[in-house]
Amino acid sequence: MGDGELTPERRWLHETVEAWAAAMGHATNALAETNRAVLSAYGLTDERSGTDVTTDAVAATASERNASGSRPDAAAAEFAGTDLSDWRVERDIDDPATLGVGNSVRFSKRLDEADVTAFARASGDTNPLHLDDEFAGRTRFGRRIVHGTLVSGLVSAALARLPGLVIYVSQDVTFLEPVDVGQRLTAVVTVVEEVSRDRYRLSTDVVDAEGDSVLEGEAVVVVDPLP
């Protein structure tokens, strides 16, 4: 087996960590710092610069980001062999010292069958509405849909791309529309208030490919300097 290949056990571990980090960011404040550490380890694609951060370029990207004072992504090398090409990130700020009202981050990915399965395994949420076609077909939705908490996990992923060390404090969420397995969604987080020197309130929305909202909410985060 080559250096870039993963054993089935290691691939399952990577999928499980991804689903856990995405899903549990909203569950309890006690887990927030742990989830941030996991999410900040991921690589990303920066559409503003046109630079694709693939698994083959994780180490080089980490060096660049550390040198520029932006988010360190060195730990993302642990995900070598995991396809991150579907992920898209846009943000309008790189320096945590200038973070303020109006700054925003967008994180986009497709929530596919593997995401749903990995999330069910990681979280224990085996509601057949998300896993069983026959069962889901008899419900009001008429088909399987993505776990709501998995959808809201995209907000956590977007917050992870704010500059600095971001610590989740609270999250309010309203689910507006069901999400089909395989849909591409985009989480948009925007600073709406600087509550104190290091604490910010943000609007948190998730939209589909047509720009229609499937989730809306509000979060409070603390942003510390990078250690």
Give the residue, 43 or 191, on which the prediction is more confident. Answer: 191
- CA nearest neighbour of 215 among 166, 168, 151: 151
DSSP 116-138: HHHHHHHH----HHHH-HHHHHT
Q: What angle do CA 10, 109, 112 make, to 5 degrees?
A: 60
Q: What is the pLDDT of residue 39?
A: 40
Q: What is the pLDDT of residue 4?
A: 52
Place of tokens 């870039």: 4
Q: 146 pLDDT band (50/70/90 cuts)?
A: very high
pLDDT over 90 percentage in the chain: 61
Q: What is the pLDDT of residue 85?
A: 83
Lowest mean pLDDT among 39-43, 128-132, 192-196: 39-43
Q: What is the pLDDT of residue 7?
A: 55
- CA nearest neighbour of 121 among 131, 109, 110, 134: 131
Dist. CA 191–CA 208, nearest whole Å: 21
Give a yes or no: residue 91 inside a domain.
yes
Tally the domains of the chain.
Answer: 1
Mean pLDDT over residues 9-35, rounded? 46
Are 183 and 111 a contacting pair, CB within 8 Å? Answer: yes
Q: What is the pLDDT of residue 79?
A: 58
Give a yes or no: residue 35 inside a domain.
yes
Q: What is the pLDDT of residue 227?
A: 87
Burial state string for 25-35 with b = 16 or more CB within 10 A and e = fewer than 16: bbeeeeebeeb
Q: What is the pLDDT of residue 5?
A: 57
Longest Cα–Cα distance of the chain, Å, equals: 55
Q: pLDDT tens across 197-218, in order?
A: 899 999 999 999 999 999 999 9
Dist. CA 186–CA 33, nearest whole Å: 23
Phi, psi of 224 (to 5 degrees): -95, 160
Give a yes or no: residue 158 inside a domain.
yes
Question: What domain range is 105 assigned to?
Answer: 8-224
Give a yes or no: residue 217 inside a domain.
yes
Q: What is the pLDDT of residue 48?
A: 38
Give a yes or no: residue 1 inside a domain.
no
Q: Is 104 left (phi over 0), alpha (psi -120 to 50) or beta?
A: beta
Q: What is the pLDDT of residue 78?
A: 55
Q: What is the pLDDT of residue 219?
A: 98
Give the CATH number, domain containing residue 165: 3.10.129.10
Give a yes or no: residue 57 inside a domain.
yes
Does the structure show a pLDDT above 50 at 126? yes
pTM: 0.68
Greatest mean pLDDT range, 51-60, 65-74, 119-128? 119-128
Dist. CA 195–CA 199, nearest whole Å: 5
Q: Token pair of 192, please?
A: 């709406």
Q: What is the mean pLDDT of the chain?
A: 77
Q: pLDDT tens across 14-23, in order?
A: 555 455 444 4
Give a yes or no: residue 176 inside a domain.
yes
Q: Is 102 left (phi over 0), alpha (psi -120 to 50) or beta?
A: left
